[in-house]
Structure 1
Amino acid sequence: MRTWLAASGATVLLMAVATLTAAAADEALRVCLDEDLPPLSMHHRGAPDSGFDVTLAEAIAQKLGRPLKIQWFESKLDEDSSPALEANALLSDGRCSLVGGYALTKDSLVVPGVKTAKLPDFQGATRDDRRRRVPLGVLAPSEPYIYSPLTVVLGPKARDRRIAGVGDLASLRIGIESGTLADAILMTFGDGKLIDDITHLVPGRDDLLGALDRGDFDATLLDLRRFDAYRAAHPDTRLAPSGYYFPIGANRGYVGLASDPALLDAVNKALSDLQGAGTIAELGRAAGLTYLPPREPAILGDEMLRVLQK
């Protein structure tokens, strides 16, 4: 009798585990993506969702055996915005379990210095959502899946100029966006060697690459992703890639909450499998990205600060 009861109890336990496993498989993998970050992720009315991070999220969800649900959000480009706090608020509010395309830097992964933060504008947000503050958790990164460097882009009059380093921009007319990392790099290079060649533009107001394309400037330094997006939108552009990448850049990956390590472990396994099969590189090229695989350090620390202090 006892043997029968034990066997029966074991059967019930196995059935319960199987039920829980099936339920987990049916649960959607919820990923938050920026709605206007081409060619990584794009969500515009009247057009299908597209971008590298969209197809990568689909591939990971398939690996995990789960349906995919994308939560689109809009990141504000202003002095008061914080990508780290926006991502944390979305995750902590349960809007998603992962935020994709996240720049993996030491500063972006620190324990938040505030207890609450406002949510960014997201698809389906109500008036109350825009007002309330969300108690924050602690962020934890996945393994990186793409490297995002700064690159020099050349205008029509300088498209044949050989660029092997920032110093080769001397004597060229340089356009740069004020207050950006690229601005700090160029303004401090060689104790101000390039200052007289630099014209500053206002981010979000002035069209840097459009001005460069018109011949107003000869060169700029900016995120490779933005150049890829511009080329996709302007197939007849006269801009030319220099092939030079500033030696210190940031990887991009997923970020989730440290309270859910099992999910990040599963995502890392999926990323490793996809990377090993060459799938991630293929998805990048199909999306119009100049795909560069992740580089060490996986999480950018104080390396950039040391460069700027030289």
Structure 2
Amino acid sequence: MKRRLAIAAALLAMATTVRAAEDPLKVCLDENLPPLSIHQRGKADSGFDVALAQAVAERLGRPLRIQWFESKLDETSSPALEANALLSDGRCALVGSYVFTKDSLVAPGVKTAKLPDFEGATRDDRRRRVPVGVLAPSQPYVYSALTVVLGEKARGRMIAGIGDLAGLRLAIESGTLGDALLMTFEKGRLIDDITHLVPGRDDLLGALNRGDFDATLLDLHRFDAHRASHPDTRLTASGYYYPIGVNRGYVGLASDPALIAAVNKALSDLQAAGTVADLAKAAGLTYLPPVEPAILGDQLQRVLQQ
């Protein structure tokens, strides 16, 4: 009798393992975040995060299913709550390229949140609110930095710090981190050199390429995307990275620690093999490895308050 029970338990465990292997690893990715992730109608999905998610799924022995979503960058949106809603609604088990800051990983102060627009969403999906859980990060897999990009007239200018931008015609998108850093630098020393553009309406890098301005400060991955789509660009990388940046990684729900542990093991193996850096290079992403601390605290707030 005991032997039969043991055999039955073993068969049940095997069946559970097989089902787990057959279940797809569902990953939510932003549809318009080149060169990290790109999803366009009539074209093959591409980007660093697409390739990395496939590599992680293969390590876990599971097929990959991507849930595409669109994050609107406005004053009313909350990337943390949008990611939480997608996870809590079961749209995915992981959200990729999540920015690791202390504020983005705190327990939500609300009980429900609205879903962002996602592929396959119905009218009811756009109206309803989802009970949210608590987010849990994986280990980071890439570091995102702010960099100075130079126009043709400033080509060759040595940039070792923000102060070296003095005297240049600076363009910056209003409301961005780069805007705050430039406007508050040394109590406003650069203010007279700055022209503000409207995100989503004005073409920041296009204006810089035309020669309307001499330099800007923006996320490195955006310049990577610009170079990929404009191989004849006049813009050049300064090689300067602002000393405070953020790591990116996966975020899931704290209620599934086994998944986070398995993903961390897969990421460690891929990092050790050099696969993560290789995937970034193939996608046209300037790869910077994660830095300590893994989760950014209040370093930026202290800089902005000086």
TM-score range, shorter chain: over 0.9
In structure 2, the residue matched to 1:88 is 84
CA drift at 1:237: 0.1
Distance in 2 (alpha carbons) for counterparts of 1:130 and 1:122: 9
Distance in 2 (alpha carbons) for counterparts of 1:133 and 1:183: 33
CA drift at 1:308: 1.3
Distance in 2 (alpha carbons) for counterparts of 1:309 and 1:78: 23
Distance in 2 (alpha carbons) for counterparts of 1:256 and 1:144: 13
Distance in 2 (alpha carbons) for counterparts of 1:215 and 1:168: 19
Task: Give percent identity, aligned residues only.
Answer: 75
Deviations 1:223-247 (A, max 9, x none): 0010000110100000000000000
For structure 2, the 5+ residue unaligned runs are none
Q: Secondary structure at the match of 1:301?
A: coil
For structure 1, the 5+ residue unaligned runs are none
1:212 pairs with 2:208: yes
CA drift at 1:140: 0.6
CA drift at 1:203: 0.8
Distance in 1 (alpha carbons) for counterparts of 2:227 and 2:111: 41
Out of 49, 55, 74, the position equivalent to 2:51 is: 55
CA drift at 1:23: 0.6
Equivalent runs, 1:1-310 vs 2, <5 Å: 5-310=1-306
Aligned letter for 2:132?
A: L
Deviations 1:19-63 (A, max 9, x none): 101110100000000000000000000110000000000000000
CA drift at 1:165: 0.4
Structure 1 segments, 4+ long, off by >4 Å, are none
Distance in 2 (alpha carbons) for counterparts of 1:211 and 1:150: 19
CA drift at 1:96: 0.2
Q: Secondary structure at the match of 2:139?
A: coil
Q: Secondary structure at the match of 2:295?
A: coil
